[in-house]
Amino acid sequence: MVIWLMLALFAAFLEVIAVQRNIRRLEFVAKPAVMILLFIWLYTSTSLQGNALWFGLGILFSLVGDIVLLGPSDRMFVIGWASFLVTHVLYLVGLKEQLLNLSAWSFILLFLLFSNGIRLLRRIVGAMRAKRQDALVTPVIVYSLLISLMLFAALSTIFDPTWKTSAAFFISVGAFLFYISDLTLAWNKFVSPINNGRILNIVAYHLGQIGLIAGVISQMR
């Protein structure tokens, strides 16, 4: 069912065009369309059997977050944060085997991810406190820990012999791009604007989600 993947990529491309040219109506259609098409692709490819169910539910919560974040207010940001927080919890449940079967490589990877993640988080939290955005500090810390753990679980598939090489590659790259997307969003919002930051955020987010779902589908085939 590659047609659904192609349509999702096309919808993601349309959203980039919409953001570049500030076409809000097109953005309101294209952004949720990507997640809807990804869900259809996952469903038609796996029937949501096994761990694919958790990723399917994660896509649906991502869809809610995407729609909510089309609004500009901080209140919408918090609701969107909650939706994506649940998304990462669901993805972690889908990757639970990686958290239960740790190896020496797992601890090295865990150390590298969290030592670098903490430095970035300190920079973001410091900027938030300087701007008197203390109410959002705890949600951002919790979210950062969860997405770092999700990235760790996805990258751990590389060392897991039960994972196909292609599946581990797709899911690892997908999780990394999702991480970069959220880092870009947080840096833009709390620290300082990044050149073409919103475009980078959108491209990394959609490619990240596509990579995650491609990994799940590849593993189950």
Per-residue pLDDT averaged across 91-101, rounded? Answer: 91
What pLDDT digit, counting tens, does each position of 141-175 carry? 999 999 999 999 999 999 999 999 999 999 999 99
Q: What is the dihedral of CA 185, 190, 192, 194, to 10 degrees?
A: 0
For the chain, the domain total comes to 1
Contacts of 48 (CB under 8 A, 6+ apart): 42, 56
Sequence letter at residue 150: M
Q: What is the pTM of this model?
A: 0.93
Question: Quick count: other Cβ atoms within 10 Å of Cβ 74?
Answer: 12
First to last CA, the chain: 12
Six-digit token pair at 207? Answer: 């490619």
What pLDDT digit, counting tens, does each position of 27-70 carry? 999 999 999 999 999 999 999 999 999 999 999 999 999 999 88
| Residue 150 structural domain | 2-220
What pLDDT digit, counting tens, does each position of 188-213 carry? 988 998 988 899 999 999 999 999 99
Integer Cα distance of 159 and 67 in angstroms? 36
Which band of pLDDT confidence, cut at 50, 70 and 90, is reported for residue 74? low
Sequence letter at residue 55: F
What pLDDT digit, counting tens, does each position of 102-122 carry? 788 888 888 898 888 899 999
Task: Look at residue 72 in the predicted model and tell me its pLDDT.
Answer: 66
